[in-house]
Amino acid sequence: MSLGAEKIRLRISNAFGVEDLPVTEVTVSLPRDGKAGTSVIEPSTLKKVTFSGNPSIIIPSGGLAVSDPIVFQVKPQSMLTVSVYLEDGQQGGHITSHPGSRTTSWMSFGNYVHAENLTDSSVQSVEHW
């Protein structure tokens, strides 16, 4: 986050997807010790993210979803951890990614949006996604 805030909203893009993106659940938190690229969060900061009051949303191909406002105090230049669970995965090979993120992303099979640390044997890291 470049600026601080008392409330935030998340935007999830499917701009380059050619199939709908079914998002099952999303959480946001602060990473442990404010570090970028870590798989460990500060559990006391974990917040559920909703879209029009619902924990899930289907984002159409080429679409964008904006979350409901989240009461989440963020200091300027803070790192955030956003965890996204796709119960059905995403169909097709065209996905919207963020190769300029310059941080490590973590992926695993299963729903770990409430996990304090990703320790499942399926966890994989990539430099950016």
Distance between CA atoms of residues 58 and 9, nearest Å: 17
pLDDT score, position 28: 97
Q: How many CA atoms are closer than 13 Å to the CA of 115, on its beta-carbon side?
A: 19
The residue-averaged pLDDT of 45-56 equals: 98
Distance between CA atoms of residues 33 and 37, nearest Å: 11
> For residues 71 and 33, is the Cβ–Cβ distance under 8 A?
no
Residue 129 has pLDDT above 60, yes or no: no
Q: Which amino acid is at 92?
A: G
Per-residue pLDDT reduced to its tens digit, 23-48: 999 999 999 999 888 889 999 999 99
**What predicted TM-score, i.e. pTM, was given to this entire model?**
0.89
Domain coverage including residue 9? 5-126
Per-residue pLDDT reduced to its tens digit, 71-128: 999 999 999 999 999 998 777 666 776 666 677 888 888 899 999 998 888 888 876 5
- Token representation of residue 120: 């499942």
Distance between CA atoms of residues 85 and 110, nearest Å: 8
pLDDT score, position 118: 85
Distance between CA atoms of residues 81 and 61, nearest Å: 25
Residue 51 has pLDDT above 60, yes or no: yes
> For residues 22 and 100, is the Cβ–Cβ distance under 8 A?
no
pLDDT score, position 101: 67
Count of structural domains, the chain:
1
